[in-house]
Amino acid sequence: MLNANGSRRSFLKTSMVAVGATAPLTAGSLSAARVGASAGPLMAYVGTFSSPLKDVLPTQVDLPPGNGRGIHLFQVNRATGALTPAGVHELGTSPSCLALNAQGTRLYSANETDRVGDDKQGTVSAFTINRGDGGLELLNTVKSGGAGPTYVSVHPSGKFLLVANYFGGSVAVLPILADGRLGNASDVKTDAGTLGPTRAPHAPAGSFAFSGHDRTHAHMIQADPSGKFVLHVDLGLDVIYVWKFDADQGKLTPGETHTVALPPGDGPRHFHFHPNGRWFYSIQEEGSTIVLFDYDADQGRLTARQTISTLPAGFAGSNFCSEILVSADGRFVYAGNRLHDTVGIFAIGADGTLTHLADEPTRGNYPRSFNLDPTGEFFYCCNQRGDNVTVFRVDPKTGLLQFTGQYTPVGNPSIIVFLDLAKGE
């Protein structure tokens, strides 16, 4: 949960650094026809834990600095996966999570601060995207409904942004207005319950991975594929919440099975639906496990069916899990291990169960998150404490990762998302 300075805290300023000219593409391993068909640039946006920008201090923000400068922009070489810097949108409030709308015209950031001025809330920002060069222009910034917003996702309707506030222990629904700006929260829910123990039952022997059982910590929120239900996890309570979603009013009401308990102390952090919508994979930060759930889309019901370690057999010591990612073809799961500094690679069986395949070193320190490019050919890992993003080529048959040798310097990278400007809105 911490940045390179041992905290998730940061500060605020917004300014724009001009986006560079489009770099020429090279064919490399791709056919000339394919490269020619991709006329526009492929952009990558990297959110960071950012440093205070001391020349503009609009109000006091509660959190010390990180090494990033805000949202870093890159052009992606489609043949090699290399990232070329294309500007920075400076933002000193640690835009640690980013989400794009379906049309690729708007970007939203969770600004992971605990307090702005006297208000003990973080903020969320909306940006318009220049479809020519990928540049960002700030539309507006609103309160997040709690302290330390750590996750944002766009509801499938495109009309709402969902926010998880880690230090506030709350989730919020923010209306997306017709011009892409954000409105004030239409709903805020605050988690409550019994905190889990600091010792996770599934943690490796000798683990001191004690991170989030001091209070409630909402860590992720996302709608199911239909948009009928919204799910969020609270790491401190070891619970997955299931909400019915009113897409007209932007309101959350408890589902029939409102909470699903994980083993006390294991700490659910992130989750990912399988493309079939029937399997749901949850990763536990302190327990270092993945749990497979069957998902009933009609009732919004989760039923646990498998628990598997994210670590190699026999590992002893401390590890904090981070990201979980299901490949677009539904054949593989990737799991982030911080301190062990690997990506665990798992095959998905015909029934959804996982089999461990390999552990790929991230070539960096503290892999907070990762993502696949739109083609699934390249895998990008944000090494938060290593101040870099590393690039891997994906074997489409085995799901295994091969390091390309490419390191891209970014201070405290937290998330990477992609936008293909060759595709129409």
With respect to residue 3, please indicate whether it lies within any of the assigned structural domains: no
With 60 as the cut, is the pLDDT of residue 253 above it?
yes
What domain range includes position 249? 14-21+35-420
Taking residues 416-422, report their average pLDDT. Answer: 97
How confident is the model over 294-337, as pLDDT tens digits?
999 999 999 999 999 999 999 999 999 999 999 999 999 999 99
How confident is the model over 382-400, as pLDDT tens digits?
999 999 999 999 999 999 9
E strand map for 130-267:
136-143, 149-154, 160-165, 170-175, 187-190, 218-223, 229-234, 239-246, 251-261
Closest CA to 203 of 238, 230, 173, 172: 238
With respect to residue 386, please indicate whether it lies within any of the assigned structural domains: yes
Q: Residue 176 sits in a domain of what CATH number?
A: 2.130.10.10
With 60 as the cut, is the pLDDT of residue 43 above it?
yes
Taking residues 6-15, report their average pLDDT. Answer: 36
With 50 as the cut, is the pLDDT of residue 8 above it?
no
With respect to residue 73, please indicate whether it lies within any of the assigned structural domains: yes
With respect to residue 89, please indicate whether it lies within any of the assigned structural domains: yes
With respect to residue 28, please indicate whether it lies within any of the assigned structural domains: no
How confident is the model over 219-252, as pLDDT tens digits?
999 999 999 999 999 999 999 999 999 999 999 9
Taking residues 199-212, report their average pLDDT. Answer: 89
What pLDDT, on a 0 to 100 scale, did the predictor assign at position 113?
Answer: 86
Which DSSP string corresponds to 185-199? Answer: -SEEEE--SPPPPSS
Q: Quote the number of domains for the chain.
A: 1
With respect to residue 9, please indicate whether it lies within any of the assigned structural domains: no
With 90 as the cut, is the pLDDT of residue 23 above it?
no
Cα separations (Å) of 226 from 15, 247, 277, 327, 329?
37, 11, 9, 19, 19
What pLDDT, on a 0 to 100 scale, did the predictor assign at position 425?
Answer: 59
Using pLDDT thresholds of 50, 70 and 90, give the confidence band for residue 52. low
DSSP 3-state assignment of 163? strand
Let me know if 54 is exposed, middle or buried by CB neighbors in 10 A (0-12, 13-18, 19+).
exposed
What pLDDT, on a 0 to 100 scale, did the predictor assign at position 423?
Answer: 86
Closest CA to 150 of 135, 134, 172, 131: 172
Taking residues 270-281, report their average pLDDT. Answer: 98
With respect to residue 7, please indicate whether it lies within any of the assigned structural domains: no
With respect to residue 26, please indicate whether it lies within any of the assigned structural domains: no
Closest CA to 49 of 32, 68, 35, 36: 68
With 80 as the cut, is the pLDDT of residue 56 above it?
no
Q: Please, which residues have CB within 8 angstroms of residue 227's CB and are 6 or more apart in sequence? A: 155, 156, 157, 245, 247
